[in-house]
Chains A and B, each alone.
Chain A
Amino acid sequence: MKTKTTRALQGSAILATAGLLLSACGSSGGTDSGEQAGSTSFQGRGPITYVAGKDATGVVPKVIARWNALHPKEKVSFVQLPTDADSQRQQMIQNAETKSDAYTVLSLDVVWTSEFAAHQWIDRLPEQQFPLAKMLKPVVETARYRGGLYAAPASSDGGMLYYRTDLLKKAGITRPPVTWAEMTDDCAKVRKLPEAKDMSCYAGQLQKYEGLTVNFAEAVNSAGGTVTDAGGKPDVDTPEARAGLDFLAGAVKDGTIPREAVTYQEEEGRQAFQAGKLVFQRNWPYMYALAEKSKLAGKFAVAPLPGLNGPGSSSLGGHNLALSSFAKNKATALDFMKFFSSETSASTFLKDASLAPPYANLYDDPSLVKQYPYLPVLKQSILRAVPRPRVVSYGDVTSAIQQEAYAALTGSKSSAQALKDLQSDLQKSTAQ
């Protein structure tokens, strides 16, 4: 019986492997074409796809429909990816690794540009075809890799300081704080008020996730330090960076930042602020509209982030449009990118979905400022903003930052030790 079974197994194994080999041959056919280095000719017209995270506002299909009405032979279809940024990046990488032409124009988070450009997953773009001069400079910087333009800025975002106007006024404070010390002083005054007895002072996004990288970089930059220098080399073991991290870690320790803030992401912080637990909070502009609808309506305002010796600097958020290297119909794609990142489209996105535009003049438009009173503050925030480290291995850099910053915040390491370890981790991951 044994020999029979073995033979039978062998027989079917041969059949099975033959089938496998056939299928393997079929799939490995045309992979060696499509290696392009740097110079791209934008040729071919026809239908393309636009790939971005799930659109909750309904404004993206509207703008695409406008394009489709104008270009019936070069229709754009909208491919929606999951809401969360990690899975968007994962699917785009998968698409690129298989050299698939399913995705044409990609909506990239600003911190992914270097990684996608270095892997040659996206094409270098002709600079003169985009109105870069009209855009905010830090925003344009996020679209560059080694001097070349690899993406077109589509939307931007910056952090702002939300504060309780009602409480500050009652405590006799007339203007929002500009430095961290002023903020702590203001807090002390506010907390003497009977209605603010149980309040904490300040919170950002300090849970161990991307938000912590944003908040850490802001603290370091606002104290005059850098995470990585202009050439992408880590330079974080400095007295300036130390002052930044000390502010965060010290504030958690002395209760200026509530103890539970190390579990806060954007939403938890927003809820704490809206529930009246915080006097100050760092958050993105999206919170403005939501807070206006809460019981805090009319009792809060926004200001630029404070820093060590003066106004601080924010980290940049937002999305850029990039062109997949493996796509077809690149001439159409380039036209679509110009259309989609144009001032007209940007103002539609601002009006209908409150997405911060890359264009400077839209921030000063009186009708838009009436609709979104935070625009002037946001413009200042973005103008002073510093992009997060622009490195190829951003994933490793951000996890190293989260690891060490979280250790300092939760008190398991001193800030000095954390920064020293971070410097050596970053050197390793940027050396590749």
Chain B
Amino acid sequence: MADTRTPPDTEAEEPGTTTGSPSVRPAGQANPRRTRTKATAGSGWTAALLVSPTLLVLSIVVLYPTLMALRESLYGVKGLDPTTGFIRTTEPFVGLENYSQIFGAAGDRFWNAFWNTTFFTVVTVGLETVIGVAMALIMHKAFRGRALVRAGILVPWAVPTAISALLWRWIFHSDGVANALIGHQILWTTEGFHAKVAVIVAEVWKTAPFIGLLVLAGLQVIPNEVYEAARIDGAGALRRFWHITLPLVKPALLVAVLFRCMDALRMFDLPYILIGAQKNSVETLSMLAQHEASNVRFGPASAYAVLLFLYVFLIAFAFVRLLGTDLVGGTERSSSPGRTRRRRFAALRRAEVAA
């Protein structure tokens, strides 16, 4: 605040980002943006001082544990001293041996968990997206009792995962509702593909409302005149959905899908409680890490956790890079094309109608 001088290079960069966009901005919008640039690009040390509490907290709660996990993953298991019968007090440094174990001797278990995790992520997020968008469209409609429907749809999301896993365990019990409905006894909680199905059903039931919620928020900012214009042009419901709703809701939808992907990749409690520990059919990477840690093998456990971290990181990175997911929401560069396109689209329509 003390220093509002703008360095010349900042000013030079500023117009560069906006000149690319063809839209004509109202004059009032340029001003607050400039002052914001000034405030953040002030003296480096003031900024450092102001940001450092945040960075300190972040490094304590994120960076430090990550680095400790990386370090821990290079240490082996404390061995048993056969003469005394006691476990040695220090962990040996083994370098990358934990990782070579995972891809070598313990490879079957790792790849099984890896494919389970990937399978669950792809299938559940795919189903959730379809069902979630459908839920959002229903919640968006104006009709009597809408509040009740909205509340009803959101209830599963409000139930803690562990509790919903217990709930579904009763449904998938050998004498449970699921078997009564299909009129045939399937032992859902034993090994096999049916166990996977049980997990997918419970997971989709629980988290489709999350996507519904975010998409609903996206739907509510689409101006109604866009639809009106399309309807006048004779676009059918399906066309309106495909060419207007979906593109305009895409930023919100992508954020929702990204969040769900990251959650699904870390899936632990649902298969653990619903089907059980150490069931090969539903074992995920998180369960492997937990299994190692609970048997006091912190090195291998950390190695699994690091691999899972890398996997989640890669997926998130791919999302942001390839699909341009707008995570920060409201940074000028990523949101402005959407807005201008929308505006241009509306303007074109108006011109056509006028003609």
Contact = CB atoms under 8 A, between A and B. Distances in A.
Given A8-B51, A12-B55, A207 B189 contact: yes
Interface stretch (A184-192, A347-355, A390-398): A390-398
Interface residues of A, number: 47
B52 interface: yes
B56 A19 contact: yes
Interface in B308-326: none
A90 interface: yes
A93 interface: yes
B44 A7 contact: yes
Given A8-B48, A259-B187, A399 B278 contact: yes
B52 A12 contact: yes
B23 to A, nearest CB: 24
Which of B45, B78, B89, B190 is packed against the most chain A CB atoms within 10 Å? B190
Interface in B82-96: 84-87, 89
A331 interface: no
A393 B87 CA distance: 11
Which of A4, A9, A259 is packed against the most chain B CB atoms within 10 Å? A4
Interface residues of B, number: 44
A119 B86 CA distance: 6
B150 interface: no
Given A1-B7, A410-B191, A120 B48 contact: no
Contact of A403 (B52, B64, B79, B278): B278
Interface stretch (B112-120, B290-298, B333-341): B290-298
Contacts of A209: 276-277
Nearest to A23: B60
Interface of B: 7, 9-10, 13, 41, 44-45, 47-49, 51-52, 55-56, 58-60, 64, 77-80, 84-87, 89, 173-175, 185, 187-191, 276-279, 291, 294-296
22 contacts: A4-B7, A5-B41, A8-B47, A11-B49, A12-B51, A13-B55, A13-B59, A15-B49, A15-B52, A17-B59, A20-B59, A20-B64, A35-B89, A37-B84, A37-B86, A89-B294, A118-B80, A119-B78, A208-B191, A209-B277, A263-B190, A410-B191
Interface of A: 1, 4-5, 7-13, 15-17, 19-20, 23, 35, 37, 86, 89-90, 93, 115, 118-120, 145-146, 207-209, 259-260, 262-263, 268, 392-393, 395-396, 399, 402-403, 406, 410, 412, 432
